[in-house]
Amino acid sequence: MDFTRILPHPDLDEFIECYWMMYSDDEVPIIEKIIPDGFTEIIFNYRDVYKSKISGDWNLQSPNLLAGQLKTFFYLQNTGTTGSVAVKFKPAALTQLFGFHMDQYVDKIVDLDSFQNSELKQLKEKILSCVNIGSNIQEHLIKKILDEYLVSLIQNASSNPLKGTLELIFSSNGLVTVTEMTAMASIGERQLERLFKKYIGLPPKYYARIIRFNYIFELIKSKKNSWTEIVYQSGYYDQSHFIQNFKAFTGEDPSSYFFEEKNMANFFLNKL
């Protein structure tokens, strides 16, 4: 599988984390694990579709998808060759740009074509118009198309009442209390919960846990820290608490997790 991460135009920094692409001619079915990273996505599959297993049975996905916030891991499996283009949105961006209430999409992968939204339809048409071009040109064109369209779209975006709070969560690597979040937002805890429900989909404390969990991968990637240092720096009380949280998000013990393996989970969790 070839993975590509593309940085968006600087004007999109408040709204877009990155664009990404996946491509593979291998038709052999492979089960991949997807782990929460705190971001939402719109995904366009222009080759064969995937199957997903979030809870219970495997379900065949639609080609064009909206993926909401995840509370825990789930599984994907290819049904043939892979060709995907996606926009990874900042936590509140889908509400700001499209008016979505994100609590409706937690742990869900929704058919994008089920939304009666002209902006999403235009975005899909623009992406699918260039996906059959050679890989190098394709990457350049996709960035150009996405940048131009999304820069024009943000002109009418609503403001983000959680901007300062989210910045605090990310700058502290999730090591922040609800009291500190309410102080940053200058609102009460109930109002903070309501805003997180609408703009993020998850409670503020749980969302901070996901960002703290993500920080583990950054610490491990640096290869400068022992497990004891990683437990301490990522804010866990002890190793048992650390292992418990790691298992909750990945289903695996950290000592048996393959951090260097080239797979979807590590691609999404290992930032630029």
- Give the residue range(s) of CATH 2.60.120.10 domains in the chain: 2-156
| Bridge partner list, 83 | 23
Q: Which of 3.40.50.10800, 3.20.20.450, 1.10.10.60, 3.40.50.300 is the CATH number of 163-269?
A: 1.10.10.60
Q: Are the C-beta atoms of residues 230 and 222 closer than 8 Å to each other?
A: no
pLDDT at position 220 = 81
Asked if residue 121 has pLDDT above 90, the reply is no
| Bridge partner list, 41 | 67, 88
Compute the average pLDDT of residues 19-46: 94
Give tens-digit pLDDT for 204-258. 999 999 999 999 888 887 767 788 888 888 888 788 888 888 899 999 888 888 8
Q: Which of 2.60.120.10, 2.40.50.140, 1.10.287.610, 3.40.50.1980 is the CATH number of 2-156?
A: 2.60.120.10
Give the burial class of 29: count Cβ atoms within 10 A of its Cβ; 0-12 exposed, 13-18 middle, 19 or more buried: exposed
Calculate what percentage of the chain has a pLDDT beyond 70.
96
Compute the average pLDDT of residues 85-97: 96
Q: Are strands 82-89 and 74-78 parallel, antiparallel or unpaired?
A: unpaired
Q: Are the C-beta atoms of residues 230 and 219 closer than 8 Å to each other?
A: yes
Give the integer Cα–Cα distance in Å for 194 and 172.
22
